[in-house]
Structure 1
Amino acid sequence: MAQGLSLHPAFQRVGPAVVPKLDKTLHKVSGGRVMIGQMMLPMVMLEHTGAKSGLARRTPLATMPDGDGFWLVGSNYGRHDHPAWTANLLAHPDVAVVHHGKRQELRARLVDGAERDAIWPKLTAFWPGYAEYQKMNEPGSEHGRVLRVFRLDPRPA
């Protein structure tokens, strides 16, 4: 049901502008424990640095937890542009996430090639919407792009 809702044209128009703002507010008032998106998927609040501005940013994102790290997909709700947070991670890979009220210092790494090919089926099994968002952006089409995949792991000591 959640996947169908996220792909509905009405949600595609309104959801991307509304849901992140609500998630940020709920996250703040709940001490980092509650976001709307958690009704569908595990969520993190990504704390990162703007690629151009250098300013601190906070972005609520769906995540696939994996051991002591996380997987993030730059789906941008199926839109044709990469989400801004992905450029920020490419420029400034040291990030933090708040997951269930606990803050962790991590380092982001873009995953591509064979490694991306290996994790993609797990990511799309976890959230089938990713496969649909990729279909909406088929490489080679006018607005084609490959959805960026990032692995977040604890920073080395």
Structure 2
Amino acid sequence: MSDVVDFNQQVIAEFRANGGKVGGPFEGAPMILVHHRGRKSGVERVNPLVSLPLEHGWAIFASKAGAPTNPDWYHNLMASPRTTVEVGGDVVEVAVREAHGEERERIWARQKELNPGFADYEKKAGGRVIPVVVLEPAG
């Protein structure tokens, strides 16, 4: 697990140093830093995630690279659906909600079209429906 934490810390540092741009496996992908508080630990955490810009906010995807379970950040956001995100050089307060039905399908299809790796995650997930989380500016 510490390898994942170290990798995330490197991506976060690169994101912040370059106004939201990162290279490596995320080169050219729209990235967002999502802040969340551990629902059990209370510890504040930050996760770098590929996002999909929406008309009023962003979508993120609880793919966990196709694992059979949802990532911890998803559970944390659902437990406390107001947080902040870093987009480019800006910090934005957001309201968090999960997309369902037609909205989810539309956003998910667009994400797979733009980033085919997400279709691979869907296959690997073994029937788990990957949650689509919408982040909308609060206020």
Normalized against structure 1, the TM-score is what? 0.77
Please list, as runs of the form range in 1=range in 2, the aligned pairs for 1:96-115 lying within 5 A after superposition: 96-115=84-103
2:135 is matched with 152
Instruction: Pick the aligned partner of 2:71 from 68, 78, 83.
Output: 83
Q: Which amino acid aligns with 1:22?
A: Q
Q: Is 1:125 aligned to 2:113, yes or no?
A: yes
Instruction: Give secondary structure in 2 for the equivalent of 1:121.
Output: helix
| Contact 1:63–1:72 (8 Å) recurs in 2 | yes
Distance 2:103 2:133 in 1: 11
CA offsets per residue over residues 101-129 of structure 1, 9 Å max, x none? 11111011011233212322112112111
What is the match of residue 22 of structure 2? Answer: 35
Q: How many residues align?
A: 136
1:27 Cα offset (Å): 3.2
TM score, norm. by length of structure 2:
0.86
Mapping 1:64-83, distance limit 5 Å: 64-83=52-71
3-state SS in 2 of match to 1:82: coil
Give the Cα–Cα distance (whole angstroms) in 1 for the partners of residues 94 and 52 of structure 2. Answer: 15
C-alpha displacement of 1:137? 1.3
Q: Structure 1, residues 67-119: CA drift from partner, whole Å, max 9, x if none?
A: 23001011112222211110011101101111111111101101123321232
Partner of 2:34: 46
Change (3 A) 1:45 1:32: farther
Aligned-partner SS, 2:120:
helix
Question: Match of 1:63, SS?
Answer: strand
Distance 1:83 1:133, change over 3 A: same
The gaps in structure 2 that reach 5 residues or longer are none
- Over the residues paired in the alignment, what is the CA RMSD in angstroms? 2.0
Cα 1:17–1:54 shift into 2, 3 Å: closer
Q: Which runs of 5+ in 1 are unaligned?
A: 1-14, 140-144
Q: Hey, what does 2:13 align to over in structure 1? A: 25
Structure 1 stretches of 4+ with a deviation exceeding 4 A read 15-18
- Which is greater in Rg? 1
Partner Cα distance (1:17, 1:80) in 2: 20
State the percentage of identical aligned residues: 29
For residues 7-26 of structure 1, what are the structure 2 equivalents within 5 Å? 16=4, 19-26=7-14
Distance 1:17 1:57, change over 3 A: closer
